[in-house]
Amino acid sequence: MNERTDPTKHTFRKFSEGDSMWTGWDDLTEKIFQADHSYKCPTYVHRTPPCQGSCPSGHEIRGWLAIARGMDQPPVEGMTWQEYAFQRMVEANPFPSAMGRVCPAPCEDGCNRNEVDDFVGINAVEQYVGDWAIENKTRLPEAGAFTGKKVAVIGGGPAGLSAAYFLRREGHAVAIFDEHEKLGGMMRYGIPGYRTPREKLDAEIDRILAMGVEVRTNTRVGRDVSIEELEKHFDAIFWAIGAQKGRGLPVPGWGAENCLTGVEFLDAFNQGWVFSTAKRIVVVGGGDTSIDVASVARRIGHIETVHPKDHAEPQTFGYTAHDVAGAIRREGVTSVLTSLFPVEEMTAAEREREDALREGVEIRGGVMPLEVLTDDQGRVRALKMCECTMDGMKPIPKEGTEFELECDMIISAIGQMGDFEGLEDLDSGNGFIGIEPGYKVKNKEKHFAGGDIIRPHLLTTAIGHGRIAAETIDHFLAGEPVDKRPKVDVHHFNLLEELHRRNLDPEPYDHTQKRGTSSERFAIHNYEDRSESQIIPHDELFKGHFPFEERHKREEIHITAEEVLGNFQERLKGFTEEDAIAEGKRCMSCGMCFECDNCVIFCPQDAVHRVPKGERAVGRYVYTDYTRCIGCHICMDVCPTGYIQMGLGE
């Protein structure tokens, strides 16, 4: 037995002791290309597409678009593509119907298709699949076998519900505590129903609860239940209490009657307490919340006169909810939204800005508040402002540009922070919970946190926090803490899982030394997964493969300023199945083979072949015969998705 066949040797040695090919870098570089062949060979490299890398919830977007287009067929006979796509979606996000409507879609901003014509309508396909799943009563995956561990989730918003869902999948018992009457958090109490229809939201929440989640509503931790009680009865605690307190304007006069925050206004409206508002409103902000406030105010309208018996005592917001209020004559309100940044640089989504303008909201950019002006009775009469420029995030006033915006109400939508009444020990000092890597609360054993209470951002960001925190908690409960997360921390495609799903698992390895793996069945040959560290850019795609294809757009109901009063109908009309399939086909499948056959057709050596039909799976459509390959690069050059890269080898 020699070194080459000795199974006890850990490493195969190509050269005998004393042999050497080293002659210096210059000579080695020259040897990469020699006559009609090179030392390079194609490798199939899976990388994360920018849509997925841009998604705060970590959706495997390319995966479910491949299902929509028919490239990835359901593994079970009789399963519809919609159900298969839904299953793929909820691996990262259990709210496709809601997020398909309200997420501002950073995935579409990052889409490589923007370099060809226009982004893929990811949100629209997501909404279609989410609505289909609700209509067809599609269930979430079953909860895992009970682990004997119990987790308390404080807050039933997107972060808390997401964490509860993923923790139940792992088999942990979960109890959600929420101070509201219903679950949903900002999805319910921070966004109006014409953007997130309540029947859709309820259906997606009910699916999670059906997995066996215990719910305790109308219960505030710190008042009705102490932290000490939670620590006594639960093995881990996840704080997802949101940022429930709005920030007031940092100007003189703030706090006068009819000054309130956007969070207060939307919460009161969504709980059914607001049926009238002031005649003239100024909203200070520039983000999506400020758009919602201004637009809701336009829809509510103003009740000028009403018989005393038809309403309760007037509140700051107007008249308290009564059935008779719907019959009272309403008048339109003047709603002005102001922003420090120019209109085109506001953080609110462009579509939302355009809708607000169409509905009669006046938007003034490049202005800053200076002082709240009041009348003799201490009520708001105007907001003193001036024009400004921005130095980063700092406004610089322009001298001599002061003016007054007359109004009856001022609403501040400039930011949020946590409400720590009864939970003072959790406050990091800036109105939020401080965390360590892995969403662990600083200096508190078995406490974790996510969502707006650690960083106010998008709903889908909170969902991503819940998913990652649930994974961290799962490892913590198993006594195997995770110290480091992937650089690209999203839900990734896994080729081994794909092969297993289709009964194509590699054969067992006998642990004997082999020379190469190209002809072996125990290895996934010439495949490399870099998805946890690399996002594939557009300049590594062969974009010439993709012709111009106009994006399929959802139909939108545009409401004019004259029609907006009392109009709370949903503005988006979902895709048909044909639309969803057609839009899925526009996906360029960045970083993953999509069976275009370019490498097979253009290989001059007939070295690239299709995998036999019975052995195909996503990521394994083609293979290279290395006995024929000369390393000419052509397959890489014509690969539309950038899946083929050249590497040194034989």
Q: Does residue 160 sit in the same domain as residue 219?
A: yes
On whether residue 108 sits in a domain, the answer given is no
Q: Is the pLDDT score of 530 beyond 60?
A: yes
Q: Which of 151-165, 437-451, 461-475, 609-623 has the lowest mean pLDDT?
A: 609-623
Q: Does residue 254 sit in the same domain as residue 359?
A: yes
Q: Does residue 186 sit in the same domain as residue 151?
A: yes
On whether residue 129 sits in a domain, the answer given is no
Quick one: tokens of 461?
């960001």
Q: Is the pLDDT score of 5 beyond 60?
A: no
Domain termination site, one of 437, 459, 483 = 483
> Per DSSP, what are the bridge partners of residue 246?
416
Q: Does residue 256 sit in the same domain as residue 353?
A: yes
Phi, psi of 163 (to 5 degrees): -60, -45
Q: Does residue 264 sit in the same domain as residue 351?
A: yes
CB neighbour list of residue 584: distance below 8 Å, 6 or more residues apart: 65, 66, 67, 68, 69, 70, 120, 125
Q: Does residue 314 sit in the same domain as residue 370?
A: yes
Count Cβ atoms within 10 A of the Cβ of residue 151 and give its class: 0-12 exposed, 13-18 middle, 19 or more buried: buried
On whether residue 101 sits in a domain, the answer given is no
Q: Is the pLDDT score of 581 beyond 80?
A: yes
On whether residue 75 sits in a domain, the answer given is no
- DSSP annotation of 48 reads B
Dump pLDDT digits (tens) for 409-451.
Answer: 999 999 999 999 999 999 998 999 999 988 999 999 999 999 9
- CA separation, residue 602 to residues 420, 498, 593 (Å): 64, 28, 15
Quick one: tokens of 399?
């001298």
First to last CA, the chain: 26
Q: CATH number of the domain that 345 lies in?
A: 3.50.50.60
Domain termination site, one of 395, 417, 439 = 417
Q: Is the pLDDT score of 306 beyond 90?
A: no
Q: Kindly give the pairing relationship between strand 33-34 and strand 37-38.
A: antiparallel
Domain count within the chain? 2
Mean pLDDT of 322-328: 34
CB neighbour list of residue 14: distance below 8 Å, 6 or more residues apart: none
Show the domain range for 177. Answer: 141-244+418-483
On whether residue 563 sits in a domain, the answer given is no
In what helix (H) or strand (E) does residue 392 lie, and over which residues does it extend?
A: none
Q: Is the pLDDT score of 37 beyond 80?
A: no
Dump pLDDT digits (tens) for 41-60.
Answer: 888 999 999 999 999 999 99
User: Are 538 and 639 contacting, i.e. CB atoms less than 8 angstroms apart?
Assistant: no
Q: Does residue 166 sit in the same domain as residue 291?
A: no
On whether residue 320 sits in a domain, the answer given is yes
How much is the pLDDT for 316?
Answer: 35
Q: In this structure, how many other beta carbons lie within 10 angstroms of the beta carbon of residue 593?
A: 21
Q: Does residue 340 sit in the same domain as residue 350?
A: yes
Q: Does residue 366 sit in the same domain as residue 432?
A: no
On whether residue 351 sits in a domain, the answer given is yes
Q: Does residue 355 sit in the same domain as residue 373?
A: yes
Q: Does residue 218 sit in the same domain as residue 343?
A: no
Q: Is the pLDDT score of 152 beyond 80?
A: yes
Domain termination site, one of 468, 483, 498 = 483
Q: Does residue 390 sit in the same domain as residue 283?
A: yes
On whether residue 542 sits in a domain, the answer given is no
- CA separation, residue 323 to residues 102, 105, 327 (Å): 29, 38, 8
Q: Is the pLDDT score of 339 beyond 70?
A: yes
Q: In this structure, how many other beta carbons lie within 10 angstroms of the beta carbon of residue 389?
A: 14
